Structure 1
Amino acid sequence: MDNCNGDTTALENKLTHNRSFLYGDAVFETLKIVQGKILFLEDHYFRLMASMRILRMEIPMDFTMEFFEEQLLSTVKNEGCLDSARVRITVYRNDGGYYLPLTNTISYLIHATPLQSQVYVLESKSCEVDLYKDFYISKQLLSTLKTTNKVLHVTASIYANENDLDNCILLNESKNVVEVLQGNIFMLQGTKLITPPISEGCCNGILRKQLIALAKKMEGLEVVEEIISPFDLQKADELFYTNVIKGIQSITKYRKKEFKTDLASSLVEKLNELILN
């Protein structure tokens, strides 16, 4: 008999044995759908497959890219938001065992919500950030995966809210910049666009990959993956972060330093050209 908020008469809670709930034993992908098309479908699918293999999950034979696409689109269609939607698929190991699972087979859950805009929009609102130093991201492969263990991001979000910040910059144990709460970070210094390498522990972002490719085609711009220290942020001309849902969001203030938004604006235009064509 389970006890849920003091109630021992209720039917068994479905979360009682769910390994995602108990151990964070799950990975997920958050995708954007525009006009019935999943943006960057192949990248999302192969990142999910790689994450499942790293976590020793058993991938069903029928879990092909076509099956993945069909399941996502049918969910969005049922929600009536094929024009523009945010959809998340969470893949979790099936019930059984404690730390050691009794099976490596999986189940999945898909949830879709409508989005207001099909295209990416660079929001003109201010975005003030600071460093989060209570806990650090580890420089290891697991940190690059989108797992359901996001306690660090949750506590950092609370910290940002308590300190009237719009976001926080997360650091690794070497005190180097890794990412922000909702995505990968980019820094412009002169004509050099810098983002931390995956080896620093940052999420292997889908839009990060797309943006690096787009920026490398821009004349007069050098794009590199290099370590960023907090001291470097003070010398930046521009800071922004990326994720598949928001696209690009400019960071306008870090401590006493304020930043331009010119490059971010140009990249949003190029990003929209890419997704609409």
Structure 2
Amino acid sequence: MVNFNGTLHDSSSQLLSIENRGYAYGDALFETIKVVHGKILFWEDHYFRLMASMRILRMEIPMNFTMEFIESEILRTVEANQLLKATARVRMNVHRVEGGKYTPTSNNVAYNILTEQMDSDFYILNTEQYTVELFKDFYVAPGLLSTLKSNNKSINILGGIFAKENNFENCLLLNTDKTVVEALNGNLFLVKDRVIKTPPLSEGCLKGVMRTQIMELIEKLEGYTLEESPISPFELQKADELFITNCIVGIQPITNYRKKEFTRDVSKQLIERLNTKIRLS
């Protein structure tokens, strides 16, 4: 079942026209959310990021788009798909309504919500080999737009194709200053000695919900210092540990980059604390 503007439909196949602005111009935003047994994880962070992103894109926020309303719509969709007693991956898309070319005729929005079942309720540390490489065909232009979760994801798609063709699990993106920004599907953290670094938003990385959660956990991690600063490609092979964060997998350790193998010690500590935080919240 798909939720389209508050109405549940059996299929999404007949809901969007070819004039949809999300399809025609990438004039859309989305949130990818994990819902565990009817509980939306980190819902407040998702909601405020969506609202802030809509304002940046000059979308008209409907009066009924309260935190409570959207939460109820998500849970109604989860329930309609018989996933209230399971774990679901939810994607909420918000697009500007049809009309106009590059310049829209209206700033009003429509939305849709889709779900799919996931296997695990809590975050599990992946211990399999996970190799990454730099993607250098195209670069992220740092700015406010690059921090949004919008439908303009050409670089990520091309990076994904590059990774698939070359047998990598993921790629790391560079910005126009040639510093490392993030992975294709999440924020990047680097551990060297007792310092844990992640690029600041000014470098062009996504304003990740899980990034915020992990930074809060690192601040309380005894013996470690959190640092928001640019990461050069040369630092990658000198690091003790690299990991990627997003709301679906939690923490994904990188095991290999070129000839370097990395530990998973900090990743293990953080994922345990993350699961504890979820249980207690």
Query: Residue 15 of structure 1: CA displacement?
Result: 2.6
Indicate the SS of the match to 1:168: strand
TM alignment of 1:20-169, pairs within 5 A: 20-82=22-84, 83-169=86-172
Match of 1:231 among 227, 230, 234: 234
Letter in 2 for 1:264: S
Q: Distance in 2 between matches of 1:218 and 1:132?
A: 32
Deviations 1:50-83 (A, max 9, x none): 0000000000001100001000000011111122
- The residue aligned with 1:189 is 192
Change in CA separation of 1:23 and 1:146 when aligned onto 2, cut-off 3 Å = same
Structure 1 letter corresponding to 2:204: G
Q: Report the number of matched residues.
A: 266
Matched with 1:240 is 243
Q: Once the two structures are superposed, what CA deviation does each residue of 1:250-277 show, in whole Å capped at 9, x if it has no partner?
A: 0000000000001101111000001111
Identity of aligned residues (%): 53
Unaligned 5+ segments in structure 2 are 1-13
Q: Contact conserved, 2:37 with 2:83, CA < 8 A, in 1?
A: no
Q: State the distance in 2 between where 1:207 and 1:165 align.
A: 23
Q: Secondary structure at the match of 2:164?
A: helix
Question: Which TM-score applies when normalising by structure 1?
Answer: 0.95
The letter for the 2-side match of 1:35 is: H
Distance in 1, matches of 2:236 and 2:148, equals 25
> What residue number does 2:10 align with?
none
Q: Distance in 2 between matches of 1:132 and 1:109?
A: 32
Cα distance change, pair 68–251 in 1 and its aligned pair in 2 (3 A)? same
Distance (whole Å) between structure 1 residues aligned to residue 151 and residue 260 of structure 2? 34
- Report the aligned-residue RMSD: 1.0
Segments of structure 1 that go 5 or more residues without pairing to the other structure are 1-11
Residue 203 of structure 1 corresponds to: 206
Q: Deviations over 1:14-51 (max 9, x none)?
A: 43210000000000000001121100111000000000
Map of 2:275 onto structure 1: 272
| Residue 222 (structure 1) aligns with | 225
User: 2:128 is matched by which residue type in structure 1?
Assistant: K
- SS where residue 138 of structure 2 aligns? strand
Question: Following the alignment from structure 1 to structure 2, what is the Cα–Cα distance between the partners of residues 27 and 266?
Answer: 33
TM-score (norm 2): 0.93
Partner residue, 1:9: none
